[in-house]
Amino acid sequence: SQTIHQWPATLVQPVGSPLSLECTVEGTSNPNLYWYRQAAGRGLQLLFYSVGIGQISSEVPQNLSASRPQDRQFILSSKKLLLSDSGFYLCAWSRGESQPQHFGDGTRLSIL
Amino acid sequence: GESVGLHLPTLSVQEGDNSIINCAYSNSASDYFIWYKQESGKGPQFIIDIRSNMDKRQGQRVTVLLNKTVKHLSLQIAATQPGDSAVYFCAENFGGSQGNLIFGKGTKLSVKP
């Protein structure tokens, strides 16, 4: 069966510090991968998606970037965090069009 | 902006009753819809999906109804249990191999014992 792992579960970072959140998927190959941000009590905002190694599409302009160095690895990064980057970050995978996305348990990021 | 929205932000039901959570979508080209359940501090969990060539699909204690005429989606939960308490999201996909989804804002379901 397929599993998706995100870490860390929680993270507290100072403003201006760098960020690296990692997501890995097991049990499938060539998945579509996604990064979302969820504000408290709100829906999910798609940040990035990837249909293959090295292929990254950005949905919204922001202070973050994403990379996919391996087929089942998706990384969310920032060189300098802003207060507005606080939130709940979720990684997901799917097999493609008209297929459900399956989510990890997220990273709660707090910027001080 | 989002094309998927929910009629009710909160829903409170008695344990054992049936729950109905509604969702409206605005993109008539959407051909795939999903319901997710999200418990506090966790990622959304897939519940059930439906394609636009169907108007009803049943799972274990859940039923999704799709009315393409009025662009309406609903999730019915039979014999609601305390463990069903969560936020429920609908999502739509209007094609593309990337499988991108648009999510609604969510409905919080509270089950009273």
The domain containing residue A107 runs over which residues? 3-111
Which of A43, A98, A102 minimises the CB distance to B93?
A: A98
Query: In chain B, where are the structural domains located?
Result: 4-112
Specify the CATH number for the domain of residue A64: 2.60.40.10
Q: What is the mean pLDDT of residues B56-74?
A: 96
Q: Is the pLDDT of residue B85 over 60?
A: yes
- Give residues with Cβ within 8 angstroms of B42, minimum separation 6: A105, A106
Tokens describing residue B34: 């999903």
Residue A34 has pLDDT above 50, yes or no: yes
Fold classification of B4-112 is: Immunoglobulin-like (2.60.40)
The domain tally of chain A equals 1
What would you measure as the largest C-alpha separation in chain A, in angstroms? 40
Mean pLDDT of all residues belonging to chain B:
89
Chain A residues in contact with B97 (beta carbon < 8 A): 51, 96-97
> What contacts A11, CB < 8 A, 6 or more positions away?
A19, A21, A107, A108, A109, A110
Tens-place pLDDT, residues B22-42 = 999 878 889 999 999 999 989
Any chain A CB within 8 A of the CB of B43?
A: yes
Q: Which residue has the tokens 């579509």?
A: A32
Contact check, Cβ <8 Å, A100/B34: yes
Judged by a CB distance cut-off of 8 A, whether residue A100 touches chain B is yes
Q: Hey, are the CB atoms on A98 and B2 less than 8 Å from each other?
A: no
pLDDT digits (tens, 9 = 90+) for A42-84: 789 899 999 999 999 988 777 899 999 999 999 999 999 999 9
Give residue B97's pLDDT.
Answer: 61
Mutation to test the B interface, candidates A5, A30, A97, most B Cβ within 10 Å: A97
CB-count exposure of residue B91 (10 Å: 0-12, 13-18, 19+): buried
- Which of the pair, B102 or B97, is modelled with greater confidence? B102
> Least CA distance to A31: which residue of chain B?
B98
**Measured between CB atoms, does B2 come within 8 Å of chain A?**
yes
Cβ distance of A43 and B105 shorter than 8 Å: yes
Average pLDDT over residues B49-64: 96
Average pLDDT in the B76-96 region?
92
Pairwise CB contact (< 8 Å): A95 & B99: yes
pLDDT class of A109 with cuts at 50, 70, 90: very high
What does the pLDDT look like over B100-112, one tens digit per residue?
Answer: 888 888 999 999 9
pLDDT at A1: 87
Q: Which two tokens stand for residue B61?
A: 């204690």
Query: Is residue B9 very low, low, confident or very high in pLDDT (cuts 50, 70, 90)?
Result: confident
- Please work out, in degrees rounded to the nearest 5, the angle formed at the alpha carbon of residue A44 by the alpha carbons of B79 and A19: 130
Band of the pLDDT at B1, cuts 50, 70, 90? very low
